[in-house]
Structure 1
Amino acid sequence: MPNDEQDRADDERESATDDPGTHDVPERAATDFASRTDAVEALPLADRADAFAALHNELRTRLESGGTTSA
């Protein structure tokens, strides 16, 4: 039987996932990311892997630095 603490944790988890579009990502950053991935998708197949790898490395660096580095 769940206790009160488990109920609160479940409620918090549910409210955090209710609207996945509400994360603290500036709209400009999301738009930039979308346009960059669109540009990579437009590349010839042979060039896509390198372009996605570069984008991945930039995003990883940004996450590891706490999000202060622009991707």
Structure 2
Amino acid sequence: MAQHVAPPAATTPVVPAKLPLKVIASWAAFFGILMLVLLYFVGAEQGAVSVFSGAEVHEWVHDARHLLGFPCH
């Protein structure tokens, strides 16, 4: 039994879309600020520098503190 190989079809090169630097910078700033806020709540929201009174925030991020190496008790 003979096998037939079809010739490769003509393909056009795929050109990736270029994002403007302004779009990349705005998303980078957004995620940077978001990460700083999350780092604050995980690492420093307790004691003298707390924004919220009580221990609710501490309890929500307690395991994340230990996972990231922040002391909490």
TM-score (structure 1 length as normaliser): 0.32
Higher-helix-fraction structure: 1
> Quick check: which has more Rg, 1 or 2?
2
TM-score (structure 2 length as normaliser): 0.31
Which structure carries more relative contact order (alpha carbon 8 Å, separation 6+)?
Answer: 2
